[in-house]
Structure 1
Amino acid sequence: MRKLSTTLSYILFWLFTLSYGKVTAQNAAPKTAPADTNFNLKNGDRVVFLGNSLFENDMPYGYLEFVLTTRWPNQNVTFRNIGWTGDTVWGEARSYISSPSAYDLLIEQLTKAQPTVVFISYGAIEAQEEEEGVARFKQGLNKLLDKIEQLGAKAILLSPIPMMTTETPTQVAPRNAMLELYATTIAKTAAERSQRYIDIYQPMLALNKQVKISDNGVHLNETGYYYLATTLEKGLGLTPRQDSAIINISKNAGESTAPVKIINAGKDKGQVTFTLEPEYLPLPLPQIAEGTADKAQLIKIPGLKKGIYTLTANDDQVITASAAQWKEGVAIRHGASFNQAAQLRDLIFKKNQLFFQQYRPQNRTYILGFRSHEQGRHVKGLEDLNIIIAWLEGQIALTRHPKPMVYQLTLVK
């Protein structure tokens, strides 16, 4: 009997493997497929993040908004995050006891946000319905895209992210097979409608093998959103945020590459003063920055005489390294520009926090719902939050511009 049971187990495992392999092979998520190669944001654009927890959980970090608002610092672009944990293309997570219906509320919130560009992240929840739910998902996605077109906005579709836990491997494989199936559906829908699709499934799957980007295997942590932001930039066809800056003082007259301008290169090569004029603010590193150093800007200074050198920016110490290390390139992860980037990120967080409280008040039933006869007077308070939100957006606009920094490299020993 035990032998028969063992044989049956092998047969069932073999059948599952064939079935899973077939689903994976037929429905592997396509690579990023842009509808056009020249993505840009212009003055007056309103970018809306619409979807499930992938967007809502970025609110404490603000990475997605940060990378976009700093790419076009001279353009007045504003952002609204209406991601909702557990949501679907039918708005099913947004339901309340009173009207409007969940889907009508989704459309109401989207319309009120006045988008010109909408990033869409759905499919993770719907994938729980497996193959049987694909048709309904595609129907809802197309209906949502029709509405976005009616609003005159451009849609950019993202794939779901994979399940990343290793604690339950028997559950991960079939779950990820379904996520890939829905990612393929999203990609095909985008292609049919000539809209941009960005695959974040494969990049996150690969990154998870190198860096801890999730604490629970389902949602991204701060490091995960840091990498998602750079993946988004790449998917939009944007150039890398940071390039190496090279200062060659092997001769008395120093030479440099943009965005560096040499002010003074001492003949004794013991001191170099230069300005760095970055095009964008640096992307703030997560608190646990292990494995993210490759994203930092490198400053290479060959030609220094042997010794230890300290780099200061506007008289604040940045980093100390040897001449040999400066020759190879030193990663810059501190300084005034990083302080400015952190300040910008904090402003983004405060603005998004206020907007969240406005469009999803905790006591919605009493202010906007069927018991509004009790506390409906507070609607005015929700509307008044627009004044503070607008002020914070003004502060964001002032802070997102990178400032030229004067650096000085000095021989200390």
Structure 2
Amino acid sequence: MKTLFILVLIYFSAGFTTAIEFKNEEKVVLLGNTFIERDVNFGHIETHLALALSEKRPTFRNLGWSGDTVYCHARSYFGPPQEGFARLKKHIQFLKPTLVLMCYGAVSSFEGEPGLGSFLEGYKRLMAMIRSTSGARIVLVSPPPCETLGFPLPNMEPQNKRLALYSEAIKKLAAEENCNFVNLFEALGAGKKRLIPPVTINGLHFSEQGYKKVAVALGDGLKVKGPNVDLPNKEKLRKIVMEKNKLFFNRWRPQNETYLHGFRKHEQGNNAKEIPQFDPLVANKDKKIQEIALSLSAK
């Protein structure tokens, strides 16, 4: 009995949770800062997961926002910073996700240990909002490591130490909140070894090749593995994914929002009515992605 108790204690202290059981027609939202948003331009994460989960016919929506933190201040426009949190809540209400992959900590980690308490408090508040708004299950994903690429770029070892601290705290938070946890920081080397070729363009922002590694690491962390698909067919699928991403980006973050929904909307007529017209276009791309992924998985 004593041995069993120790094993259970080790299990939960390590932050392990029950394996994710993916649902049919899962509505997945990718939520985070620059790291998440930039995959809109590459589509590797969604392509990898779409193939791995093809029989479930999932859909994906990227709600990443550059410079964002768990307080969502970067998402505000002309109002106060707190407006960003309410804006995200509206997007969650609209999308009704069933699963949210959250990746925060990269920005907040620059504050080091003094900022950790505020970060965790904000993360809990954000998770509570998502759960109460949509009922979605949540997976917490640690921020990835930085790379030291040499002069004239800075040594990122101090930042990786801060990222390690925040990643460990996120793992403990996942256990407390009964969430699954994916440790991208460790999976991508924790910044301990310089990768050849590099996976970032500047030590901080991931390259296209970097996102290929991220996609595999995230899939491994979620315990899903896609079929072996030849590069031409995989690129065909990724092309559709990127087309869908562009359509959805223009749907939820249209340019000149001041003229669409803000204080100057009266100047150009009711242009806002055109924004929902993106919805059937996005849905059509979703269908194509599902069909291609399923056909490639069946080969």
How far the C-alpha of 1:32 sits from its partner, in A, is 8.3
Per-residue CA deviations over 1:218-242 (Å, capped at 9, x if unaligned) read 0111111111111111111235x4x
Give runs of aligned pairs for residues 193-204 of structure 1, distance below 5 A: 193-204=177-188
RMSD across aligned C-alpha pairs, in angstroms?
2.3
The one of 150, 158, 162 equivalent to 2:145 is 162
Mapped to 1, the partners of 2:14 and 2:279 lie a distance apart of 36
1:170-181 alignment to 2 at 5 Å? 171-181=155-165
Q: Quote the offset at 1:366 in angstroms.
A: 0.9
Aligned to 1:230: 216
Return the offset for 1:111: 2.4
- Aligned residue type for 2:138: A
Is the contact made by 2:15 and 2:172 (CA closer than 8 Å) also made in structure 1? no
Q: Aligned residue for 1:260?
A: none
Residue in 2 that maps onto 1:93: 74
Taking the TM superposition and a 5 Å limit, the aligned residue runs for 1:85-124 are 85-98=66-79, 101-124=83-106
Q: Which residue of 1 aligns with 2:9?
A: none
> Which structure 2 residues correspond to residues 4-403 of structure 1 after superposition, within 5 A?
33-37=15-19, 39-98=20-79, 101-150=83-132, 151-167=134-150, 171-205=155-189, 208-239=194-225, 241=226, 280=227, 282=229, 337-375=230-268, 377-403=270-296
SS class of match (2:96): coil
3-state SS, counterpart of residue 172 of structure 2:
helix
Report the Cα offset of residue 198 of structure 1.
0.9
1:33 offset after TM fit, Å?
Answer: 4.5
Structure 1 residues 147 and 177: alpha-carbon distance in aligned structure 2, compared to 1, 3 A threshold: same
Aligned residue for 1:402, secondary structure, equals helix
Tell me the amino acid that sits aligned with residue 238 of structure 1.
Answer: V
Q: Is the 8 A contact 1:122 1:159 kept in 2?
A: yes
- CA shift, 1:351, in A, is 0.5
> SS state of the match for residue 74, structure 1?
helix
The aligned counterpart of 2:3 is none
Instruction: Supply the distance in 2 between the matched residues of 1:170 and 1:356 (Cα, whole angstroms).
Output: 32
TM score, norm. by length of structure 1: 0.64
SS in 2 for 1:90: coil
Q: Distance in 1 between matches of 2:149 and 2:254?
A: 37
Say whether the 8 Å CA contact 2:148–2:194 is kept in structure 1.
no
Matches of 2:271 and 2:281, distance apart in 1: 16
Distance 1:211 1:96, change over 3 A: same
The CA distance in 2 between the partners of 1:79 and 1:234, in whole Å, is 18
Contact 1:207 1:213 in 2 (8 A): no
* Identical counterparts, % of pairs: 32
SS of corresponding position for 1:93: helix
- Paired with 1:395 and 1:69, the residues of 2 have a C-alpha distance of 11
RCO higher in structure (CA 8 A, sep ≥6): 2
Change (3 A) 1:392 1:166: closer
Provide, for residues 27-74 of structure 1, a one-character-per-residue CA deviation record: whole Å limited to 9, x for no partner: xxxx9844212x242222100000001111111211111121112222
Q: Distance in 1 between matches of 2:199 and 2:228?
A: 23
Tell me the distance in 1 between the aligned counterparts of 2:280 and 2:31: 23
Higher strand residue share: 1
1:118 Cα offset (Å): 0.4
CA distance in 2, matches of 1:53, 1:73: 27
Using the alignment, how far apart are the partners of 1:58 and 1:225 within structure 2?
A: 7
Instruction: Report the more deviating stretch, 213-222 or 176-185.
Output: 176-185
Aligned twin of 2:10: none
Decide which structure has the larger Cα Rg and report it: 1
Q: How many pairs are equivalent?
A: 282
Distance 2:278 2:193 in 1: 39
Classify 1:50/1:207 alpha carbon distance in 2 versus 1 (closer, same or farther; 3 Å). Answer: farther
Q: CA deviation at 1:131?
A: 1.8
Q: What secondary structure sits across from 2:188 in the alignment?
A: helix
Please state how far the C-alpha of 1:126 moved relative to its aligned partner: 0.7
Question: Deviation per CA, 1:337-391, whole angstroms, max 9, x where unpaired?
Answer: 4322211111110001010011111101110112222236111111001011111
Q: Secondary structure at the match of 1:141?
A: helix
In structure 2, what is the equivalent of residue 312 of structure 1? none
SS in 1 for 2:39: coil
Instruction: Considering fraction of residues, name the structure with more helix.
Output: 2
> C-alpha distance in 2, partners of 1:61/1:32?
33
How far did residue 193 of structure 1 move?
A: 1.2
Give secondary structure in 2 for the equivalent of 1:234: helix
